[in-house]
Amino acid sequence: MGLFNFWEQKKMKKELRKMFGKHFSFITNEYGYNVELSVYDKDSFGNFIIELSNGPKRIKIISDRSQIFIEILDSEKGWIDKEVILKVKGIPHNRFINTEFGLWTGYEIENQAIDLKNNWIYLDL
């Protein structure tokens, strides 16, 4: 795992830099995206938003109460959840196991990072 560039590190709070470097640095290192926005609120469950761009292409990583959501910007439709795009492309929602309580584990940070990397080609990014 490489380090994302100095400018992007300066735009992100320490808590976000560590998480981003561990799970999502491939977006900047391998695909050339730049961090455009990062917002972190430690008082609201550690919620955050990171928005990245590469020309007109944009990705948003959102943490809401420890669940991670990834949205892709469609120039005509606005922000669309990654899961919706993958469903339309025929990639099943059951890529991740359900817990014993029936909860889908796909919104865990590790799973979202792996899933984004594995399905990058289907997201037209």
pLDDT digits 0-9 by tens, 99-119: 666 666 778 888 899 999 999
- Asked, for residue 1, whether it belongs to a domain, the answer is no
Task: Please provide the size of the chain in residues.
Answer: 125
- Cα–Cα distance measured from residue 118 to residue 17, given in angstroms and rounded to the nearest whole number: 22
- Asked, for residue 44, whether it belongs to a domain, the answer is yes
- Asked, for residue 62, whether it belongs to a domain, the answer is yes
Dihedral angle of Cα 110, 122, 9, 63, to the nearest 10 degrees: -50
Look up the domain containing 48 and give its range: 6-123
Please classify residue 29 by burial: count the beta carbons closer than 10 Å to its beta carbon, then call 0-12 exposed, 13-18 middle and 19+ buried: middle
**pTM given for the model:** 0.81
Question: Each residue of 8-19: pLDDT tens digit?
Answer: 545 567 777 888
Task: Specify the number of domains making up the chain.
Answer: 1
Q: Residue 98 half-sphere exposure, CB side, CA atoms within 13 Å?
A: 6
CA 42 and chain centroid, separation: 19
- Asked, for residue 52, whether it belongs to a domain, the answer is yes
Structure letter (DSSP) for residue 48:
E
- Asked, for residue 59, whether it belongs to a domain, the answer is yes
